Structure 1
Amino acid sequence: MNWNTLVAASFFAVLNVAAFSAHADVQAPSQTTSHGTHLDIKKVVSVVDNGGNCGIVDARLTYLDSSGTQKVLDYSKFAECGNQGG
């Protein structure tokens, strides 16, 4: 194996690693749901909301379905207020 072949192989290896890393950061487009929609959730990755005030807030659920595909669900929920009920 000569020097040029080694350099070319290393260059393509670095490009493949960079492309794979960039692909891993891409999230699935979010979906919305309505009452009665069936969700195929095998594992919850994260749940975040915009919080801040009591009442209804927007939230985002990132999860893996039974086939291992990462999905994102946007929904509304009641905020978790620290001073509920007295």
Structure 2
Amino acid sequence: MNTKAVYAACLFAALNICTLSARAEADVAPKTYTYGTHLDIRKVVSLTEDATPSCGVVNARLTYLDSQSKTQVLDYSKFADHCNSEN
């Protein structure tokens, strides 16, 4: 097998893995965190937040696998990552 075919196969496999996780997240209805929400997190898949150039509270999303390996999505509020570098 030539190297171009190997590279193409690797790229195709990587793209499929990325799209599978995106499709899994799209199929799950997000829940909104409230104080006292029971969290059953076995493995964190991704953490994202709204883009903002300044320090402040932003919306964030946690995608994770629960103890039954089902994908769950949780929306919550947090201080922006930009706040870490400010006093």
**With structure 2 as the length reference, what TM-score do the two structures score?**
0.65
Letter paired with 1:84: E
Residue of structure 1 in register with 2:51 after alignment: 51
Distance in 1 between the 2:86 and 2:27 partners? 35
Cα offset for 1:27? 2.6
Residue of structure 2 in register with 1:76 after alignment: 77
Structure with a larger share of its residues in helix? 2
List per-residue Cα deviations over 1:61-82 (Å, max 9, x = no partner).
0000000000100110001126
Does the alignment pair 1:60 with 2:61?
Answer: yes
Q: After TM superposition, where is structure 1 displaced by more than 2 Å over at least 4 residues in a row? A: none
**With structure 1 as the length reference, what TM-score do the two structures score?**
0.65
Letter paired with 1:51: A
Cα offset for 1:51? 2.8
Letter paired with 1:77: K
Matched residue count: 64
Q: 1:10-25, aligned counterparts within 5 Å?
A: 25=23
Distance in 2 between the 1:37 and 1:46 partners? 19
Superposition RMSD in Å = 2.1
Where does the alignment leave 5 or more consecutive residues of structure 2 unmatched?
1-18
Report the structure number with the largest CA radius of gyration.
Answer: 1
